[in-house]
Every structure is written in C-alpha cells, then in structure tokens.
Structure 1
Amino acid sequence: MTRRLLALSILLCPLLAACSLEPLINHQVVDYFEANDIASNQVILQNILRAKDGAPLHFSELASIRGSLSNGASVSTTFPFMAPDHATTLPRKLGTVGMTITSSPSFDIDSLDTQDFTNGVMRPITPETAQFFLNEGIDYRMVLLLLVSGLRSGGRPEMLLNAPNSSRVVCYHELPALNALPTQYSILEADEPCDGQSEPEFYAFLRTINHLGRLYPLSVPQPPKPVGRPFDLDMTKALTAVASIDPGRYSLARLASGQYQLMSAAHGSYVILCRETPDGPAVAGVLTSERDESTPVPVDACSRKHGNAADQHASGDPAGAAQPMMMIGEQKNTVVFKLRSTLEVIQYVGQILALQQDETEANPQLPERCVTLEYENYKGGNMTCNFGVLFHLQRAGPAFSSPLNAVSYNGVSWSLPAPKVCRAPTRCDHTLETISVISLLLNQNKSSKDIAKTQAVQVVP
C-alpha cells in the first residue's frame, strides 16, 4: 500500500509542476505585449522627431518574441535489495524530489521598409478612414489638422495648404467676420507686398476650419453618370430591349424633355461634411483623396431627406420629383478637403514640433508656444501649451521614467504627457490622441505577416 501511494505521488509530480507554470506563462504574455507597446510607441516618436529635423523616416516592427519555458522533475528512492549484513544500521528507504524551471526568450525585429508598406503609407488616406475618426468623438478640428493637406474654397482655383513649414502668406483684402468662410484673399510669397492684413498660410487654414463651425460626416451615394446621348424611345415597340437592360450596370431615366437617357449604375459614395445653420443642416464640404475636383451632391444631402440621385441626368435638368444638385467646390461657402497620406501625417506632426520650437525661440518673453485647435492670434501671446494643444513633447526628467511614453533622440530624452481624461477639447492636450491616430493608420498599412504575434503555446500532460 505504501509503495502504491509513493508511485502515485511520483506520477503527480510532473502534473503539479505543469500547473505551477501558469503564472509564469501569464507573466511572459504580459511582458511580450508591454515590450511590443514600448517598441511601437518609440518607433512613432522617433520618426516624428526625425520629421521635425527633416531626416529620413524608417519603420521597424517587433515581429515576434519567442519564449521557451522548460521544467524538469526528478524523483529517486532506495529500497533494500539483499539481506542486511552485520552493519549497525538497517538500509533506509530514501526518496528525493527535484524540479528546475528555465526561461530563455528571444525576439525578431522586422523592417517595415518594404515596397508594399511604403506604397501603403504614401497612398492618400481614404475618406472612409477620415469618416471613422470623425465619428469616434474626436474633435473635428484635430481630425482635419492631422488628415487634411489643404482645402479649396468654392470658386477659388488655388488650394490653401495645411503646412506649418509653408513660407507663403495669405493677404486678406477684407478680413472675414466671425464664423464666416474667408473668400476675399490672395496667397503670396513672404516677400510679396500685401495691401491688406496678412498671416501665415498655416494659420489661415486654422482660421478657416474654426470659422466653418462643428462639422460632421455623412455618406452620400455617388450619382450615376450618363452613357451616350439622350434619345427618343417608344415603349410599345422597344419594351423587349428595355427589359434586357442589366439593372446592375445601367438604369434608364426619363428627362424633362420627354427623351430618355441611359445612366450607369451608381457605385460607391462620397463622404461629405455637414454643419448646422439657422436654416437647418447644410453641406459644408467633401473629403477627397484623389483629384481636387468639384463634387455633385443633392442640395439637401445633409437633411437625409434627399431622393435617389439616379433621377438626375447629364445636363442637370430636374425630372419630375428629382432633387436639385449642387457642386461642392464651385458653390459659395463650400470647401473641398484634400486628404494626405499616413507618411505625410507623421511629417506634419514633426513640422508642428519644429514650428512650436521656432516660435518659442523667437519669443523668449512669452511662455512656451504650442499649436492649438482654437484659432489664436499667433503673435498675441495666447498660443500657450496649456489649452487645446494638438501635439507637444516634454524633455523627460525623473518624473517621466516610464519607457512606454519616452524616447531618446540625438542624446535628448523626450516624453509624452501623462494620460488624462479629456472632457473639454478646448482645454485638453491631444498628444496621446494624435499618437493613437498615427498608430491605427500605420497598422492599417501592415500586412498580416507584419502584425506582431507570439508563437502558439501547447500544454502536453
């Protein structure tokens, strides 16, 4: 009986040893994700600091961490195997149990400077991606500052650039009133004379998006395009031909003139930006990632009551109950917003840091300067780093020792601000939000093999 209990105990030892590995495995998993978070944040911060200095950007990924845990159990015992001799002591039944645990993690670092990844980060962000961030409760001005490279007001041929390093100035022939879209202005080089009031182009962009008021996105189906010319049609004679039209590719619209027009089926949608006015919701602009073109949408697109755009024909004449159309980018008080690429977003944040550094050094009598979401008189001393800051880094000291939010660049340690709940966008520091947006944009351009992952863990009894 005693030997059976001993044998059972020996068999249970490896199982108990395996159970003891559970906290160690959990610790390894948590350590892996923390290491990956630290590496990802530091890569983003280093590239932003490189962009500030105009240096090349490089991307790498902590692709995998492979940890090996091994345990060994040993049991030994002695039993008598012959009769006792004349020794003064009898053979003793001795038993010993031993266990060892070793851990030897290793990791791989993969470069993301591949053709697919580079093409992805150089490709303009899609309107649907910008719409996602606008619907996430992020301040619309922060989204536009980060993702929009420039805007073109209705009726104007030239785009107003959202570029902190731009040397151009905007000369106002008539300073726009509060909440009015600037229209009477000229874009000049810094050394060209201005016959009115002027300000740097970047601040003119910031003025414009603030004057538009709160914007929210809405998807509107793209209107169908005419195929060929209008034609006469006798339904009594051509009913078979009309019935053979593939509705997935074409539709037939009757025009106000009585003729018919073959239309291509509507595919895709536009992402427009709406705003509230005293007369109700109104179309303010459209997000575009390809060409800077005027975009046709129903006049009442923002009211969600507009009809099917397929009722419109090539010349724009209404037919029956067709909705009237407007051209965003041609009509007054409308704006075309051109989206930038992920790579340009990182370069843009670096230019923000450079601008803040230059402004601080040029105005030693004023507090540290920061770009804010609110339009401020950039020479008036109000542009401090206390309220509504887009992006701001601090020199890391003893109080900023967490490697998760700090990075060393050119011998200087920089740190992100401490996490803090933001309840009023105009009084918050949006630095961590900016890092989060950039991280999501980068992940959007990684293939499955680039996403960090661990090796599978298998427990064998």
Structure 2
Amino acid sequence: MSLRLRLLALALLPGLVACSLGGSIAENSIAYNGTMQAATDTLLVVNVLRARDQAPLHFSTIGAIHGAFTLSAGFGYDLSHSAGLAQPALLASTNPSFDIGPLDRQEFARGLLRPIDPVLLRLLSDQGLPDQVLLYLLVSKFDEGPGGRIIANDPARRQALDPDAEAACAEAGMEARPPCDPFQAVVDRLTRFGRLRFNGYTRLIPLGPPLSRAEATAPDRLSMLKEPGITLRRAGDGWQLYRAVNQLVICIPGRPGSSPPFTALALDNEPPQISPITQEGDPCSADEVADHAIHAGRAAPSGLAWYLRSVDEILHYLGAVQRRGEEGTAYRVSIPRPGGGQARPRLFRLWQQPPARPRLAADYRGTRWYVAQQDEAEDQTLRVLALTTQLLNLQKSAGEIPSSGTLRLVR
C-alpha cells in the first residue's frame, strides 16, 4: 500500500468509527428491548401460575440497561502476505450491564390492590377489545344492591356446556341455575344485542327547590353563580340552581325496537364503579341532562351494579381460570364474529405441551409452560396477557424504578 493510500485510509477511519458506533447502538438497543420483553412476559406467566397455586406473587423490573461500547481504530500488519503491508483496522466490543429493581414498595403494593379506573373500560373498548373479554377480566361481581343477589365472577362455577345450553342460560340471565354459570349468563345477556357504548355528557344536579324570579335574582343567589360549576337554568315557570358535573355512562343495547334503546349505567371512581341511574333525558346520546330533585326516602334506581377488579385480583382470577382448565373444564367465552355468528375461544390457557403455534414459553417449578399465538376463534390468552401487562404497568410509579443510566462510549 502506497503512503498516499495509507494516509487516506487513516483520514477515513473517524467516519468508519462513527458508522460502526451507530450500527452497534441500534442493534444493541433492539437486542436489549427483546431481553426486556422476554423477562416481562416470563415473569407475568410465572405470577399467574403462582396465583393458580395460591402462592405469594413477586414482581421485579429491569430498571436500566447500561451499554458500554469500546471502539478502536488503527493500522495492523497482514502477516499472510510476505510483504507485511499495513492495513487499517476497526475493532468494536460491548459490555452491557443492567439494574433489576424488585417492586416490593408500598406504593406498588397499593397500586396492585387498587381497583382499576372505570374510564379504562372506555379506552380499552375503543381499542377494539371484545366486550366479553373486558367484562370477564375486569368485573369481579354484579350486585343488585341491599337485599338483592350478588353474582360473583367465579371460575369454579364454570361447566362445559354446548352452545344451545349456554344460550338458554343467557335467556335466563340472573335467574340462571346450575349447571349455568350465572356470571356467564349475565355477560351473554348484556352483550347479545351489540357492543357496549359510552357517552360523556354534562350532568345537571339540582340544588335546592325551584326558585321564583325574585328568589333567583336575590344577591345571595347570584353570588353562588361565582362558584365553579354552578349554573342557573329556567325550570317551568321558575328557575333552578344546578351543579354541573362531567358524567360518563356505559350504555347497554336493548332488544331492537325497544324503548329506550339503551340502558345507561354511571361510571364512578368509588365502588361500585358502575351503577344504575335514573333514565332521565337521554344519557346515552345527549350532551346535557338535568336530573330531577331526589326526595328523602326515594328508592334507588333498580339494576345491577358492577364492581371492578384490581390487578392483583386479575392475576388470581387468571390463576383460577388456569386451574379450572387443568381440571378438565375449558373456559370459553362467546364473542360475536364480524360477519355474524359466534366464536367460542378460550379466554385463557397455558399449555404444558407446545401448541400448534407457540408464541412464548416460561419455566415454573420444573415444567415448561407455553402461550399460543393469538387466535380470535380459538385462544385469547396472548391478548389477555397483553392487557394485563398494560394494567400492571399503570401501577408502576416512576420513583419505584431506577432511572436509566448514561450511555458510555469509550474510544
């Protein structure tokens, strides 16, 4: 190699170093992401199996991955040729390290035990998740209120029934008796006429009795209008003070041609998170609805209240579903097909033998367990795990996870 070519190669080495560094960072970033995916998926499956066995659950996370890249450049001699000419050389190496943080702090534990925010029902439904999957996974029980029936979402009640028998159970609804699973019967009845809908509107709650014009224009009344959310509206021959609040309702479709076409249930952060309301106005399509004054002793609206699960309860529920499946009862749910008809996939199943299309696997107590690829008609396990991961991540506070370290570059 001539002196000119050697000098040219030496001048090009910094550019080659930069190109090699960019490729190394991209490749290792993708590899680290795959490592986190495998660790997170495995831990989730293992915790479901722990829940199946009624064993303690344990969580950890990879808080940070530190990548230390070493790049060196120079000239070396190629001894395979007698001339021993100097050749440019570029060497790269990486020595990653990572931080694992156990999630055993008070705030994370509280998050696990806190019921999920009911607004998530709307967000998840908008993502296209089947209503049936959401109801089975997120609702712990239906409750008729004081003195009424409680319908628990208990996998132990599930029996293997053919579609005709399940349809008869759905027709009976809350009145369904064994071998029906009452919770399954109520879910099928709630969803048999179409997808659940949601509507947000301004709810006007009356404050005090109706007012005459003189009363409404009194200084003390007018001063109340300065308070946030207080509004004065015409009511018949007089006026009415209202408190305006934002209200989100879930709307259950009724039989075609029924009136009203939807039954509205109010969403609230306090249990029961979903509860019946009076069907005043049109809460499933209106922008604003004014309530009537509620007098003392007035009976509460009839209907079923819904109680939502915490993430901890979801994991134990999936463990119970897995246990029921291992006992020989396949836990299937009815989901409408886009073109009509019903699919009856398994809600959740971990396989001890590799399924036809395995997606991931985890080892637990000497046994390898498999998760099948998502199949709308046969197996919803992967979708359920993805949803559970989202809900679990919502419980992780930034303060509980070690902050990412700085990428170190050594040349």
Which residue number in structure 2 is paired with residue 379 of structure 1? none
Deviations 1:366-412 (A, max 9, x none): xxx3111139xxxxxxxxxx941100111145988x7x711111111
TM-score, normalised to structure 2, is: 0.79
- 1:104 is aligned to 2:95: yes
Distance in 1 between the 2:25 and 2:354 partners? 34
Q: Which runs of 5+ in 2 are unaligned?
A: 78-82, 159-165, 336-342
Distance in 2 between the 1:398 and 1:208 partners? 32
Which residue number in structure 2 is paired with residue 74 of structure 1? 74
Which residue number in structure 1 is paired with residue 143 of structure 2? 152
Name the SS of the counterpart of 1:416 in structure 2.
strand
Larger Rg computed on CA atoms: 1
Q: CA deviation at 1:60?
A: 0.8
Which residue number in structure 2 is paired with residue 330 of structure 1? 301
Aligned counterpart for 2:350 among listed residues 393, 403, 415:
393
**Are the equivalent residues in 2 in contact too, given 1:416–1:432 (CA < 8 A)?**
yes
- 1:204 is aligned to 2:182: yes
Bigger Cα displacement from structure 2, 437-446 vs 451-460 = 451-460
Give the 5 Å matches for 1:162-311.
162-165=153-156, 180=171, 182-184=173-175, 197-199=177-179, 203-212=181-190, 213=192, 214-221=194-201, 223-234=203-214, 238=218, 242=222, 245-246=225-226, 248-256=228-236, 258=237, 260-266=239-245, 268-280=246-258, 281-283=261-263, 285-292=265-272, 294-299=275-280, 301=282, 304=285, 306=286, 308-309=288-289, 311=290
Q: 1:341/1:395 Cα in 2 relative to 1: closer, same or farther (>3 Å)?
A: same
Name the SS of the counterpart of 1:107 in structure 2.
strand
| Aligned-CA RMSD value | 3.7
**Are the equivalent residues in 2 in contact too, given 1:250–1:263 (CA < 8 A)?**
yes
**Are the equivalent residues in 2 in contact too, given 1:122–1:344 (CA < 8 A)?**
yes
Which residue number in structure 2 is paired with residue 374 of structure 1? 334
Distance in 2 between the 1:236 and 1:29 partners? 66
Which residue number in structure 1 is paired with residue 378 of structure 2? 428
**Are the equivalent residues in 2 in contact too, given 1:50–1:350 (CA < 8 A)?**
yes
**Are the equivalent residues in 1 in contact too, given 2:333–2:345 (CA < 8 A)?**
yes
Aligned counterpart for 2:373 among listed residues 418, 421, 426:
418
Deviations 1:208-242 (A, max 9, x none): 11122234131343633343455544169637953
Distance in 2 between the 1:390 and 1:45 partners? 15
Amino acid at match of 1:278: P
Deviations 1:222-274 (A, max 9, x none): 63334345554416963795377226331224545x554432222x3233132
Which residue number in structure 1 is paired with residue 390 of structure 2? 440
**Are the equivalent residues in 2 in contact too, given 1:286–1:337 (CA < 8 A)?**
no
Distance in 2 between the 1:236 and 1:102 partners? 79
Name the SS of the counterpart of 1:262 in structure 2.
strand
Q: 1:348/1:23 Cα in 2 relative to 1: closer, same or farther (>3 Å)?
A: same
Name the SS of the counterpart of 1:102 in structure 2.
strand
Which residue number in structure 2 is paired with residue 356 of structure 1? 325
Name the SS of the counterpart of 2:204 in structure 1.
coil
Point out which structure has higher relative CO (alpha carbons under 8 A, 6+ apart).
2
Identical aligned pairs, as a percentage? 26
**Are the equivalent residues in 2 in contact too, given 1:152–1:159 (CA < 8 A)?**
yes
Distance in 2 between the 1:237 and 1:142 partners? 53
- 1:314 is aligned to 2:293: yes
**Are the equivalent residues in 2 in contact too, given 1:251–1:262 (CA < 8 A)?**
yes
Name the SS of the counterpart of 2:173 in structure 1.
coil
Q: CA deviation at 1:182?
A: 3.0
Q: 1:127/1:301 Cα in 2 relative to 1: closer, same or farther (>3 Å)?
A: farther
